[in-house]
Chains A and B, each alone.
Chain A
Amino acid sequence: MEILVKKYAQKLVDAGLAAPSGPGAPLVGGLDQTLVWNTTAPEIPMLEKIFQHLNINSLVFLRPRFPYDLIIRFLAGRALKSGGAILPRDCETRTFLHDLPVVDQWDIHAIVQALKQRKIVIIQGNARKNGFLAPAVIAPGTVSPEQGFVHISSVCFACFVAFFNNYLAGLKTGQHDPEMDLVFDQVLPFLQNGVPASPDLMHGPFSREIDVYTAMAQAGRKIVDYGLVDSYFGNLSCCWNNTLYISQTGASLDELTGCIDPVPLDGSSTAGITASSELTAHLETVARTGCRTILHGHPRFCVIASMDCDPAQKAACAFSDKCHTHCPVPRHIGSVPIVPGEVGTGPFGLCNTLPRACDTSNSVIVYGHGVFVTGKIDFTQAFSSLVAVETLCKNRFLEQVRHLRHA
């Protein structure tokens, strides 16, 4: 437990979600027979009470770092005025977290009540009331602090996407307000950091199995370094010697060693049962396009852009409450198609839409979810496509905002 609590605290810092020290440093607790923390902090006595009220074995507490603090404070404030929860719009968060409850005080009963129902709680309320600095997010786990880490990363990602989505939609419909403008202006410097040039990755074709594993681990690490996924969602695969090597479900892309499943293309083994939930989509795409590599990430501006639908079109659309599964319009950003589809293999699963779209484009965006890119030989081409799509989406977004605000 000592190792785990430290590991996930550090991961939050590395992901840019937490400060390394001070009141913004993450607190991670793990309980077996005794409770251990990654550090000491004035909030801990209160957090320990949560362990007494809930049947859990771990907990993560985070005051998110800029710009997530501003964004979450804004969304949580609005949520408190409506139903008391932020409703994420991206598919993955919606699938796994459903909604994000907000409480308005640093109060054990309110917090416990919310955590009895959902995997996370956001604490908002008047800044510094009772000396408490809001916003903060708490996420417990029943197996490992990794659960709290994943859920908190998802909250930050979902709120980021939700804010910019709402903002863009608000600008288009005239429903934005000065408060939103202010948050946007404050966050803008963060958006202007350019994406670095694509890294130098191992070159294919690969002649040995070990090279496949190494190249995958390297590409996975870089996706995380470049911020092209939230927490560790996302996956990648490499087809070699009639076998698809694919990252395992829930595998941290920056720690892929030992977490790659070899899946024979002839179906002679079921070892792929622990492979990523998108295994079917990968297999079909490989079969249709003959590509060798696939990368799937959740670059945020791709996700935001994928959900940007013309208000007039939306108002007239019969599927406007089911865009992520039923969107009937062939939409593109540049030449990159956007397809609907849920995680996995259900009737509306992206395995039904994505592979076909890959026939004509080596980058495909899945509505409200992320991007899949294919490569012919190794991960080099795929990685630069991933960076290129995200850059395109981000520039387009900033341009739209600039334009709409001037108008």
Chain B
Amino acid sequence: MYGWTGKIARIDLTRRKIAVQTLSPDTCARYLGGRGMGGFFLQPAATLDWDHPDVPVCLFTGPLTATAAPTSGRCHMVSISPLTGLMADASLGGKIGVQLKRAGWDGIVITGKSDTPVGIDISDNDITLVTAKNLWGMTTDAVHQHLNPKKAGLACIGPAGENRVRFAAVITDRYHAAGRTGLGLCLGAKRLKYILVSGTGRTRVKDPEQLKKARQDICRLTAASPALMGRYGFSRMGTGAMYDLMDNRHMMPTDNFSATWFGPAKELNAAAYARAYSPKKHGCRGCHILCKKISTRTSAGTAMPEFETMSHFTALVGLQDIDLVTAANQRCNSLGMDTISAAVTLACFREITQKDFTPASLLALLDDIALDRGEGKSLKKGAAAYAGSMGQPDAAMAVKGLELPAYDPRGAYGMALGFAMSTRGGCHLRAYPISHEILRKPVATDRFSFSGKARIIKIAEDSNAVVDSLIACKFIFFAAGLEEYARVFSAVTGQDVTAQDLLAAGERIYYNERIINSCRGFDARHDDLPARFFTQPGTGTSQIRVPPIDRAAFLQAKAAYYAVRGLTRNGLPTRTKAEQLGVPWKSL
């Protein structure tokens, strides 16, 4: 095969056994790689508890990984989420994806549980389990320093993943967090501290000339994209470039989503970080956008916070200090925790206890969460569990247990629907409507309307499922489309596919996730937003009104979504639709 290596490693940590499994061309074509392939290998375990030894942690590259395809260096991890109970998945940046592929593996599927802390060391064909007793308890920075991976790719967990923080993250190559859904704990429960990979092979590409041409088409589009390569785009300013927009649009979640505008925001934007830290560019392997920013001045070498972190550690928690944001970001990465979930959980704590934070008290609480101390013992379960235990479930700003990112849904109704329908809970990336509702790409849509949004969201979910499976980075789709990536795919694999063929694979991948979640008891009751958004307005102006979301209109859009997605009125998948899409059927 071209593109795929056709080979995965099954690593059983209980029996300390490693087996090689070949992938059929048919499976590759149907599930592509990354998230799609992870979902395929997860489905048989869909009814098990998240920490059952038979529940796999899957780490997959895609057919484009380690080729000249733009932004194809990422890989994807999939398991069951200890935070939400849904399928868990997150994209891993850095260089581990490229290394895994170059080592000759489309992916690894890790099952079982080790008695003692362990690391997986992959060097081309050789896979060894190495004791990690000496690393247990270490921060992710310390692990990185200790293992000194150089060219190799490293994914590891910090104390949070060891101490059963339900939103523990996996950190790759020091700077890149796979934050959402608690995958760090999935590794921690298996007592897997790290995965270190180096490879010397090459991905076989069917038509390098055609790939070069397809790459040029995409690069030309990214050069024309203000959001990516413009003066204020991600390449120059990082994802923090979104901060001023959210401020201007009055959709910045403030005080635990009780308001949508934060007075001091103008002083806390990406330009302020640029002045204070003179950041340099950094990025994932195989990417020319390089959206990551690393400080060259104050605390040189520190990663600058991403947009979500900038927003949530200021407006959401009521602080206005960019050094605190940078420190909190650094602390979360080092301890191995998701910044979004951590901040939303703290904002929930602040609302319930009515106690404001100081920078010091906030940092101390982050430590307590990761190290399982004091208040941290209850906060480490996430906002929903914490608020529930305090008898105030409505104070948790989460969907299906996943804390909401920094876009207030009252300011973008596609986002509202996307949050509610997402197969991983309160996530902006499944449908990523920010593209058309805020960044005007491919064209602008009315952000205060549900009109047409059901199908838009469904198509975008399918498209992003493809993106997470090929793999490419979502950001590049502010400029390019599956049309261009289908050409890349064809050049790499030699399979003549179109954007529509890829979308069909995306629909299959997405439906499989709905099937997995339905096996875990999720249905229409869970596809909803916190009540606050339907009853309280945001902070509007005379020009921009931010009313509460009309519940009836939301429910209508939700029903339309179910119809378009091929789900029952109760939000459940059907055997007929599954057969039509060619997805193995499974039910409770």
Question: Is chain B a partner of chain A in the same complex?
Answer: yes
- A146 (CB) vs chain B CBs: closest residue: B443
Bound complex: CA A146 to CA B442 (Å):
9
Given contacts A277-B224, A345-B223, contact A30 B452 (CB under 8 A): yes
- A268 (CB) vs chain B CBs: closest residue: B271
A267 touches B271 (CB 8 A): yes
Q: Considering the complex, which residues of chain A in the window 140-167 have a beta carbon less than 8 Å from any beta carbon of chain B? A: 141-144, 146-147, 150
Residue from the list B223, B231, B245, B441 in contact with A250, Cβ < 8 A? B441
B499 touches A279 (CB 8 A): no
Given contacts A273-B230, A342-B220, A345-B231, contact A32 B452 (CB under 8 A): yes
- B438 (CB) vs chain A CBs: closest residue: A274
Please give the distance in Å from A10's CB to the nearest CB on chain B: 17
Residues of A within 8 A of B445 (CB): 143-144
B564 touches A33 (CB 8 A): yes
For chain A, the bracket of interface size reads: 35 or more
Residues of A within 8 A of B444 (CB): 146, 250
Number of A-B contacts (CB under 8 A): 167
Which of B95-103, B113-121, B454-462 contacts the other chain? B454-462
B501 touches A116 (CB 8 A): yes
Residue from the list A117, A150, A349 in contact with B223, Cβ < 8 A? A349
A270 at interface, CB cutoff 8 A:
yes
Most buried by A among B243, B266, B443, B462: B443
Given contacts A269-B271, A273-B230, contact A98 B459 (CB under 8 A): no
Given contacts A117-B483, A144-B445, A273-B226, contact A280 B438 (CB under 8 A): no
Bound complex: CA A248 to CA B436 (Å):
13
B560 at interface, CB cutoff 8 A:
yes
Q: Considering the complex, which residues of chain B in the window 267-300 have a beta carbon less than 8 Å from any beta carbon of chain A? A: 269-271, 274
A344 at interface, CB cutoff 8 A:
yes
Given contacts A270-B241, A271-B244, contact A345 B232 (CB under 8 A): no
Residues of B within 8 A of A272 (CB): 226, 230-232
Residues of A within 8 A of B499 (CB): 116-117
B226 touches A1 (CB 8 A): no
Residues of B within 8 A of A54 (CB): 500
A274 touches B226 (CB 8 A): yes
B221 touches A32 (CB 8 A): no
Bound complex: CA A55 to CA B454 (Å):
13
- A112 (CB) vs chain B CBs: closest residue: B500
Bound complex: CA A263 to CA B460 (Å):
30
Bound complex: CA A147 to CA B459 (Å):
15
Residue from the list A1, A55, A119, A144 in contact with B483, Cβ < 8 A? A119
Residues of B within 8 A of A263 (CB): 232
Bound complex: CA A338 to CA B13 (Å):
66
Q: Considering the complex, which residues of chain B in the window 451-498 have a beta carbon less than 8 Å from any beta carbon of chain A? A: 451-456, 459-460, 462-463, 483, 486, 498
Residues of B within 8 A of A280 (CB): 230-231
For chain B, the bracket of interface size reads: 35 or more
A55 touches B500 (CB 8 A): yes
A87 at interface, CB cutoff 8 A:
no
- A118 (CB) vs chain B CBs: closest residue: B483
B224 touches A273 (CB 8 A): no
Bound complex: CA A105 to CA B231 (Å):
46
A279 touches B230 (CB 8 A): yes
A346 at interface, CB cutoff 8 A:
yes
- A55 (CB) vs chain B CBs: closest residue: B503
A127-143 contact mask (Cβ, 8 Å, vs B): 1 or 0: 00000000000000111
Bound complex: CA A345 to CA B289 (Å):
12
Residue from the list B242, B456, B498, B507 in contact with A117, Cβ < 8 A? B498
A31 at interface, CB cutoff 8 A:
yes
A346 touches B443 (CB 8 A): no
B563 at interface, CB cutoff 8 A:
yes
Given contacts A32-B455, A54-B500, A117-B486, contact A273 B242 (CB under 8 A): yes
Given contacts A117-B486, A279-B226, contact A96 B221 (CB under 8 A): yes
Given contacts A33-B563, A274-B438, contact A343 B224 (CB under 8 A): yes
Which 9 pairs across A and B sit closest by C-beta, in order of nearness? A346-B223, A116-B498, A344-B224, A343-B224, A270-B232, A33-B560, A344-B223, A116-B500, A270-B241
Between A and B, 15 residue pairs with Cβ closer than 8 Å are A1-B451, A32-B453, A53-B500, A57-B452, A144-B445, A147-B443, A150-B443, A250-B440, A267-B271, A272-B226, A272-B231, A283-B231, A342-B220, A344-B225, A345-B223
In the complex, besides A269-B269, A346-B223, 13 extra interface pairs with C-beta distance below 8 angstroms are: A1-B451, A33-B454, A55-B503, A55-B507, A142-B456, A143-B445, A144-B443, A249-B439, A249-B441, A267-B274, A270-B271, A280-B230, A283-B231
Q: B residues within 8 Å of A by Cβ?
A: 217, 219-227, 229-233, 237, 240-245, 248, 266, 269-271, 274, 436, 438-445, 451-456, 459-460, 462-463, 483, 486, 498-501, 503-504, 507, 559-560, 563-564
